[in-house]
Structure 1
Amino acid sequence: MFNFNLSVKIYRSIVYMVRTFIFTISLLLILSGIPHRLLALDDYSLVQISYTQGLSNSAVLSLYRDDQGVMWFGTYDGLNGYNGKKMEVFRTDVPLGKPLLNNSIYDIDAADNNHLWISTLVGVNRFSLKKRQVVGTYQVFKEEFQLFSNRKGDTWVVDKGHIYYYSSQKDSFVEAAPNKLQSIDKNLYLVDGQGALWQFLQKTSQICCYQIRPDGGLATEVTSLHSKAIIFTFSQGGLLNFVDEDYDLFLYDLEKRRKIYIRNIGMLIEQYGKLKGIVSFHDDIILGFEQNGLIKLDAITHYKESVIDNSFRIFSIYKDPVQDIIWVGTDGQGVFAYSSKKEMAVQLMFSQLQNKITRQVRSIYTDTLENLWFGTKGDGLVKVEKYQDNIRNGLDWQNITVYFPGKKARLMNYECPLSEFQVFGIAASRYKNGFWLGSAENPALSFYDYLRDMIYPVKGDISMIQKVHQIYEENDSILWMTTSGTGLCRVLVKYLPDGTFEATHVKQFAFKEGKKDINDFFPMYVEGDSVMWLGSRGMGLIRFNFHTEAYKVYLLGGKDKFAINDILAICPDNNRLYLGTVSGLVQLEFDQRNNPVVFCIGKEQGFLNDMIHGILKDENGFLWLSTNKGLVKYNPTNHAFHTFYYTNGLQIGEFSDDAFYQCAQTGDLFFGGTDGILFLEKERMNKVENQSSISFYGLEIGGGTCQLL
């Protein structure tokens, strides 16, 4: 039995490492006096954001994430915007547009047209996310007030005398009705997805709903969703958690109108004090207590409680709408960000290699001997023998070898040379015992020979070829390769008596769109025995018949979407192609007249980042996308997606061009990035679903409990 009177001391030692537009903090916890089995903290990774990152004040009163992925922190002394690298601070003394009414920011809420509402004690500011400045000031309310809005920006304000709604046409708050509740308790109001204000009436089970009609009039409805009085609510993302007068906790789906009983939390409130927030996280429920931190209700154990961390005071709690992160604004310790440690991938980090390998992964391959090969942007080609056992059971440096043309070294003896060997492409040979390597230059084309365990440059005059990204072996003497700067190249090769290869002829293919040359290609997809699809950097997609040498250029976007013509990856799926571009994912089909039909999804639809470096399809038909900000699991059927960015145990956030690969033997998916390489096993992939983080365990209708099939 857990002893809640046990004295707890938690010491944190934090090492920070900042990368472009991301942050990751390694946290070492020393827990003294607490049995390991009683702590839920072991299930979470913790990141702290404080003065070290530029936070203007360590008392964080409010939290909000905008649609561009920026986290906004309302502190006791200023408004802060944090993109993972840079902290922007806005105060009353910053001369940009109209000044903030006050430096103490009590609430941050969504406004319409890419704006935020900034609530202070003396009024509300309208803040433009585009201009990064205050563009409106509103002080029509009584001394105490609360502002409520949904993600679309439908906005209401309540003070002790009146209820107001925001009219975008008038750019003002219009008095709608008297406040019958005469209370501004933040936990007794919400704005639903249709823009209606819900007011939970004290000491009754009734809810008063206010809605602005199309003609501008006010519609009022009194309804109920529960048989007893509701004393506390916390809503976000279409889910309402509420506590009734008996301290029973329920979860309510605002869209589906379904109510789920969780458990009674009366003893917890008696023990830990005032509730500050309730969020649903995966299948669990997280309770935030004002004076006693976070408590987890674990779904697996029928919502038995365990302590995440009760060593801090909470001002605000917020579930990230895109990432699997709970943000907590504390009293004096800045912001804590919690993410699940449930690992979805096996990872090999450069830090595990004592940073002998430091340059990003740019190509990946696995062979039938269970070796993992990956090419780097300068540190050569790396082989990890029996990679599954080696990575899981602790790396043995004797089983890791680094290769450069004509030489090799065990990792423990490897010293970074003055010259670089950049490996962008790896292609298995169907005719010889080895594989082809495409690299930046000198040599741009090499061959690894298994028998002699060595890399040999291809001989002959291939000096015109540079930056080889992908290689296709048409037969035992013809290679095709995409290059950056020298276009598509066909190389005739001859096998020599000494076991090496010689290039006997090189042909570069010239493609044009109007007067523009197209000679910069990364991805290649070979369809059938005669067609290549080539993804260009900036000039669209080319369909090339390598028997007749006929080609057609497809420009996929006009002036407003021209960036989708910059293609980094191609993934076939039945009669369509998926393209990874620098401006999102493109779904490409062709109509009956063979005209391209394009569908795009990117940051506007909620991706954290638009740059799609790689695309792989798993056995269930889901697409996995590697980006500059995490992995995305995408469902082509309904366009639903989920982003994993330093969550679910992922330690790689920024991925690389060319570094994506599906193992032919196991079906595992591999992705490489700036910090290492990871692979998703089929068993783990199948456990990661594109669905809400909530599972329903029961349904109550009319006071009775029904079984869910």
Structure 2
Amino acid sequence: MKTKILFFIIFISIVISCNNKSTSIELSTSTSNLHLNVNSEITDTTNIASEETSKKIELNFFSEQLDNTKGLSNSSVNTIFQDSDNLLWVGTWDGLNRFDGTNFKIFRPELNNEKSLSNQVILKIAEDNSGLIWILTMGGINSYHKKSNTFQRYNFLRKNKFTLSESEFNMASDGSRIIFCAVKYWGIGYFDGKEFLKIGVKNLPASSVKRMSFSSTGELLLLFENNELFSLEVETKESGKKIISKVKLLSEQIREFDTFPSGAICMNTIDGDVFIYTLSDHKKQKLSLTNVQKIVGHTDSGIVLYDKFEYFSIDTEGNISKQSWFEHLKKQELITLIQGSENVIWIGTDGDGLLKIYPHRKSFNLISEKNVSEFDVGIVRAFAEAKGKSFFVGTKGKGLFKFPSNFYLNAKTPLSYEVFNDDNSGIDNSVFSLFNGQDELMFVGTDGEGISVFDLKKSKLINWTEILDSELYDYFKSVYAIYQDANGVIWLGTNGY
């Protein structure tokens, strides 16, 4: 006899009831009838850990080198940036590189093409609120339009007058991803969507800006060639025009700086000392560090610095630590680093190209009979999550398993679960399908009669014979597929009914 798959409709207006029928089976949820196992552990679940949990787990890191033999335009890297499309942009001493995870696309100036880069030396990269990619070169500021694959040059009335200085131009984006610039002999300005508008500001040095950045609290930070670090408060008028409302000299003799998410600033002096400066109260804390040569960049763990011998990181409280991935930094001279998506550390070196340092995790991890004794011979046929409540697993021969929704997040936490089978709840031991439906109902398809429903509000399993008016429907069993549409209609796929 040919097996047929038939579909029929059950409306959501079916009322689930356990008490209105004399033939109802009383569902017992006592601990004597439900198997509760709190002694089992998941041995390794780091691959699916949440961001918060993953920070607590010590990871093994691997490294990969990408240089000019792998398609990078030049092995001396000045800057790295990852845009909103997760494309990696790498600025070198000879060209701009776009990396899609497999291949590099190289951009360089083109003769007689005004829509190409203004200079091949790439110093900084950013993205604005319209999706334009901004490139700071030794010869000026450029924007890149992804759709048209063209560049626009902004030379600030310095037509064809390029420079061999790295600091005649600089730029930074604020918290709203508006691009600001600092140009020698022109001043400070911002891009209004069409052009750069100059902002009048007094009491600043006449020398070039060698580093420019915004704090997380909105201050524009400028480090000049004379090693003076200034803070500028930017104010937006009702007209939309931006002005500088306050200028403050934060410190002198500063070689480099970087910012913490808290708004504090890490300062490295020309003498090799390190300070943490708090903008809110203008307090300056000196750390017990000496001979610090360089601020390389920052990750979620803190700002990475280098003295004459090793790399280390500091947090906003001044705590000093060494990350496990630092072991990959023994030979290269680092210029810059960022933490990209998926916790990948991208590092630019002087002569060794780009380093990719990434955490190693298994693609899959196993929950087996070591964790759940009933899985010794059970075959998993279906699973579904009621987000924030429970994770259900249907098996062939062992019934329905109910785990906490976050059971896979903590490897060291004992795994608890409940088992529903024909011994303790009347559900058939062969579960074929699961669907998380509306009204906090989990629909369960089995090899038994009808369908079962788990009421998440009451934490109670309800079988077909306990559902009001279920006898009005034709006999069916072996539900292999369940779906509930937007109108609340439940569609079932059965084997031969």
**TM-score, reference length from structure 1:** 0.42
8 Å contact kept, 1:165–1:174: yes
Partner of 2:135: 118
Q: Deviations over 1:232-285 (max 9, x none)?
A: 21236445211245532123455786654332323x43xxxxx253536526x5
8 Å contact kept, 1:96–1:133: no
Against the structure 1 CA distance between its residues 210 and 525, is the aligned structure 2 distance closer, same or farther, given a 3 Å change threshold? same
Q: Following the alignment from structure 2 to structure 1, what is the Cα–Cα distance between the partners of residues 322 and 311?
A: 7
Match status 1:547 vs 2:438 = no
Match status 1:312 vs 2:332 = yes
8 Å contact kept, 1:324–1:339: yes
The residue type equivalent to 1:478 in the other structure is D
The residue type equivalent to 1:528 in the other structure is K
Match status 1:286 vs 2:304 = yes
Q: Following the alignment from structure 1 to structure 2, what is the Cα–Cα distance between the partners of residues 95 and 483?
A: 64
Q: Per-residue deviation at 1:219?
A: 2.5
Partner of 2:93: 76
Counterpart mapping for 1:322-333 below 5 A: 324-333=343-352
Q: Per-residue deviation at 1:159?
A: 2.6
Against the structure 1 CA distance between its residues 120 and 240, is the aligned structure 2 distance closer, same or farther, given a 3 Å change threshold? same
> Could you say which structure has the higher strand fraction?
1
Instruction: Name which of 193, 211, 234 aligns with 2:234.
Output: 211
Q: Following the alignment from structure 2 to structure 1, what is the Cα–Cα distance between the partners of residues 394 and 111?
A: 55
Q: Following the alignment from structure 2 to structure 1, what is the Cα–Cα distance between the partners of residues 228 and 258?
A: 17
8 Å contact kept, 1:240–1:251: yes
Against the structure 1 CA distance between its residues 371 and 554, is the aligned structure 2 distance closer, same or farther, given a 3 Å change threshold? same
Against the structure 1 CA distance between its residues 128 and 302, is the aligned structure 2 distance closer, same or farther, given a 3 Å change threshold? same
Against the structure 1 CA distance between its residues 114 and 206, is the aligned structure 2 distance closer, same or farther, given a 3 Å change threshold? closer
Q: Per-residue deviation at 1:213?
A: 3.4
Instruction: Name which of 213, 221, 226 aligns with 1:198.
Output: 221
The residue type equivalent to 2:74 in the other structure is N
Q: Secondary structure at the match of 1:186?
A: strand
Match status 1:184 vs 2:208 = yes
Q: Per-residue deviation at 1:82?
A: 2.8
Match status 1:491 vs 2:411 = no
Against the structure 1 CA distance between its residues 203 and 97, is the aligned structure 2 distance closer, same or farther, given a 3 Å change threshold? closer
Q: Following the alignment from structure 1 to structure 2, what is the Cα–Cα distance between the partners of residues 205 and 316?
A: 22
Counterpart mapping for 1:614-653 below 5 A: none
Against the structure 1 CA distance between its residues 199 and 552, is the aligned structure 2 distance closer, same or farther, given a 3 Å change threshold? same
Bigger CA radius of gyration: 2
Against the structure 1 CA distance between its residues 298 and 473, is the aligned structure 2 distance closer, same or farther, given a 3 Å change threshold? same
Q: Per-residue deviation at 1:139?
A: 1.4
The residue type equivalent to 2:149 in the other structure is Q
Q: Following the alignment from structure 1 to structure 2, what is the Cα–Cα distance between the partners of residues 549 and 124?
A: 73
Q: Per-residue deviation at 1:447?
A: 5.4
Q: Following the alignment from structure 1 to structure 2, what is the Cα–Cα distance between the partners of residues 107 and 70?
A: 15
The residue type equivalent to 1:64 in the other structure is F
Q: Secondary structure at the match of 2:122?
A: coil
Q: Per-residue deviation at 1:147?
A: 1.6
The residue type equivalent to 2:210 in the other structure is K
Q: Following the alignment from structure 1 to structure 2, what is the Cα–Cα distance between the partners of residues 483 and 304?
A: 47
Match status 1:134 vs 2:159 = no
Q: Secondary structure at the match of 2:346?
A: strand
Q: Following the alignment from structure 1 to structure 2, what is the Cα–Cα distance between the partners of residues 526 and 156?
A: 53
Partner of 2:312: 296
Q: Deviations over 1:599-639 (max 9, x none)?
A: xxxxxxxxxxxxxxxxxxxxxxxxxxxxxxxxxxxxxxxxx
8 Å contact kept, 1:57–1:78: yes
Partner of 2:186: 162
Q: Following the alignment from structure 2 to structure 1, what is the Cα–Cα distance between the partners of residues 233 and 111?
A: 38
Against the structure 1 CA distance between its residues 328 and 255, is the aligned structure 2 distance closer, same or farther, given a 3 Å change threshold? farther
Partner of 2:172: 148
8 Å contact kept, 1:530–1:546: no
The residue type equivalent to 1:286 in the other structure is V
Q: Following the alignment from structure 2 to structure 1, what is the Cα–Cα distance between the partners of residues 175 and 381?
A: 42
Q: Following the alignment from structure 2 to structure 1, what is the Cα–Cα distance between the partners of residues 336 and 420?
A: 55
Q: Per-residue deviation at 1:69?
A: 2.7
Q: Deviations over 1:147-179 (max 9, x none)?
A: 222353232222332323123254334364478
Q: Secondary structure at the match of 1:106?
A: strand
8 Å contact kept, 1:56–1:78: yes
Q: Following the alignment from structure 1 to structure 2, what is the Cα–Cα distance between the partners of residues 366 and 259?
A: 57
Counterpart mapping for 1:363-402 below 5 A: 364-366=367-369
Q: Deviations over 1:446-492 (max 9, x none)?
A: 559xxxxxxxxxxxxxxxxxxxxxx96473453554269xx966435
Partner of 1:50: 67
Q: Percent identity?
A: 18
Against the structure 1 CA distance between its residues 229 and 555, is the aligned structure 2 distance closer, same or farther, given a 3 Å change threshold? farther
Against the structure 1 CA distance between its residues 184 and 168, is the aligned structure 2 distance closer, same or farther, given a 3 Å change threshold? same
Partner of 1:222: 247
Q: Deviations over 1:164-205 (max 9, x none)?
A: 312325433436447842333423x32234654323467797
Q: Following the alignment from structure 1 to structure 2, what is the Cα–Cα distance between the partners of residues 122 and 197?
A: 23
Against the structure 1 CA distance between its residues 264 and 117, is the aligned structure 2 distance closer, same or farther, given a 3 Å change threshold? same
Q: Per-residue deviation at 1:525?
A: 7.5
Instruction: Name which of 441, 465, 482 aligns with 2:433.
Output: 482
8 Å contact kept, 1:111–1:155: yes
Against the structure 1 CA distance between its residues 179 and 276, is the aligned structure 2 distance closer, same or farther, given a 3 Å change threshold? farther
Q: Deviations over 1:89-130 (max 9, x none)?
A: 44446999932333332210232322221122222221235x
Unaligned runs of 5+ in 1: 1-41, 270-274, 342-346, 351-359, 374-382, 384-402, 406-421, 428-434, 439-444, 449-470, 494-504, 510-522, 533-543, 557-709
Match status 1:335 vs 2:358 = no
Partner of 1:250: 275
Partner of 2:458: 528
Partner of 1:62: 79
Partner of 1:705: none
Q: Per-residue deviation at 1:329?
A: 0.9
Q: Deviations over 1:643-676 (max 9, x none)?
A: xxxxxxxxxxxxxxxxxxxxxxxxxxxxxxxxxx
Against the structure 1 CA distance between its residues 529 and 201, is the aligned structure 2 distance closer, same or farther, given a 3 Å change threshold? closer
The residue type equivalent to 2:230 in the other structure is I
8 Å contact kept, 2:93–2:120: yes
Unaligned runs of 5+ in 2: 1-58, 385-391, 400-418, 436-441, 471-481, 488-497
Against the structure 1 CA distance between its residues 162 and 71, is the aligned structure 2 distance closer, same or farther, given a 3 Å change threshold? same
Q: Following the alignment from structure 2 to structure 1, what is the Cα–Cα distance between the partners of residues 318 and 259?
A: 24
Against the structure 1 CA distance between its residues 176 and 262, is the aligned structure 2 distance closer, same or farther, given a 3 Å change threshold? same
Q: Following the alignment from structure 1 to structure 2, what is the Cα–Cα distance between the partners of residues 365 and 66?
A: 40
Q: Following the alignment from structure 1 to structure 2, what is the Cα–Cα distance between the partners of residues 545 and 436?
A: 22
The residue type equivalent to 1:334 in the other structure is G
Q: Following the alignment from structure 2 to structure 1, what is the Cα–Cα distance between the partners of residues 461 and 248?
A: 63
Against the structure 1 CA distance between its residues 57 and 545, is the aligned structure 2 distance closer, same or farther, given a 3 Å change threshold? farther
8 Å contact kept, 1:176–1:218: yes
Q: Following the alignment from structure 2 to structure 1, what is the Cα–Cα distance between the partners of residues 197 and 465?
A: 64
**TM-score, reference length from structure 2:** 0.57
Q: Per-residue deviation at 1:552?
A: 11
Q: Following the alignment from structure 1 to structure 2, what is the Cα–Cα distance between the partners of residues 524 and 56?
A: 59
Q: Following the alignment from structure 1 to structure 2, what is the Cα–Cα distance between the partners of residues 180 and 301?
A: 30
Counterpart mapping for 1:511-660 below 5 A: 526-528=456-458, 547-548=467-468, 555=486
Q: What do you get for the CA RMSD once the two structures are aligned?
A: 5.0
Q: Deviations over 1:510-558 (max 9, x none)?
A: xxxxxxxxxxxxx9875536678xxxxxxxxxxx9972489996759xx
Q: Per-residue deviation at 1:366?
A: 4.8
Against the structure 1 CA distance between its residues 548 and 252, is the aligned structure 2 distance closer, same or farther, given a 3 Å change threshold? farther
Partner of 1:632: none
Q: Following the alignment from structure 2 to structure 1, what is the Cα–Cα distance between the partners of residues 369 and 111?
A: 55
Q: Which has the higher contact order (CA 8 A, sep 6+)?
A: 2
